[in-house]
Structure formats: C-alpha cells, structure tokens
Chains A and B, each alone.
Chain A
C-alpha cells in the first residue's frame, strides 16, 4: 500500500498570503494525484487532478505541481473561503490512499 504523507499538519496563514502544502508518496504515483478541499460538515471537493489540472470551476489561485513522489498545492492569495482542510489522494495504485490532511487556518 502506498503511504501518502502531508506536511505540515496545520498551516497558519494570513488572508492574502500564499500557502504551500506538500504531499509525499512512499513510491512513485506518476501524475495520478488529486487534491481535495473539505470544510467542516461538508463533503470533500475536487480541486486538482492529474497533479496539476484544475477541476471545473476551481479558481486560478489554486495550482498543483509535482510528479513521482513529491507534490505541492499552492494557493496564491488566500481568501476567507479557502480556510479548510486539504487532502491529497493517489489513484495510481490500488488501494487509492489519502494523505492525513493539512488544515489551513487563519493566522
């Protein structure tokens, strides 16, 4: 099973600042990686797939990069609605494992 490790666990950022979230896979997942945003009481929402492709309706301030084992989600200028928990998921191998999440909170 591929283990996905996200860092940091919590990221404190001021509105308007840039946020950089990391996700590492225990073995290569090529570019088969997705990022999800989840707010309290809501289902996860797909942000990025294929490591760098924004899903439909996702603002351009969200960008993804990386391949193989190292991936990054960048939020260029945090808006109030972006404070949430973010999860990466690899879908290159079965089982399709998630990282443990990064909570982005207001500084």
Chain B
C-alpha cells in the first residue's frame, strides 16, 4: 500500500522560505507523479503543481510560478516542495498527493503539513 508521510509543522517569518518533504513508501517514487495541494484555514483545496510524466516536467500553477520549486530524490523516495518569499496568505496546510503510473487521478495523499507564516 502506498503511504506518503510528510514533515512536521513549521512556523516561518514573512519573506522566509519553507521546504516540506513527502516520504513515499510501498511504491517506488519513480513510478509515481507527485502533486502538491494546499488548503488555507477554512478554505478549499488549491492545486499548486505536479509532475507531468508525458513531458517529464513539473507544471506549476500560474500564481506560484517563480516562487515554488517541486523536486524529488529518488534515492530516498522523498519529494519536496519549497515555497519562497512567504507571506501571511501562505499560511495553510500543504498536502502531497500521488498519481500512479498509468493513471491520472490523485490516489494517495499525505497527512498534510501546517505552515504558519507570522511575524
């Protein structure tokens, strides 16, 4: 069974960066496409970006381009999402989610990581 375990909560100051990790077990990371979704307090789900296996590239939502980097370390089966120039509006729970090879839907989700941006 695929499991995604994320790093713990973080508190950051405005202007800082945060890097959230997502450790995959039960399935090789190279056979998954990892996406990142965030949820501000009391709000809905917002897709941030994800890996496109057809073109072997990561696609980012327009509003995050230039400020976010999604990466992977296949030697440790860990995915990362780094968000820079944090502002209070970035306070949210950040989720990693996985699409299995040959499929298109987000089958598996991490438990979420709360990132709080506060001075």
A-side residues, CB < 8 A to B, are 1, 32, 34, 36, 38, 43-46, 49-50, 55, 87, 89, 91, 94-101
Contacts and interface: CB of A to CB of B under 8 A. Distances in A.
Interface string B9-53: 000000000000000000000000001010000001111011010
A34 B105 contact: yes
Given A49-B105, A55-B107, 11 more contacts: A38-B45, A43-B111, A43-B112, A44-B45, A44-B95, A44-B109, A46-B105, A49-B104, A91-B106, A100-B44, A101-B44
A71 to B, nearest CB: 14
B45 A87 contact: yes
| B: contact size bracket | 20 to 34
Contacts, number: 56
B44 A98 contact: yes
15 contacts: A32-B104, A34-B106, A36-B45, A43-B112, A44-B95, A44-B97, A44-B106, A46-B107, A87-B45, A94-B52, A95-B49, A95-B61, A96-B47, A98-B45, A101-B44
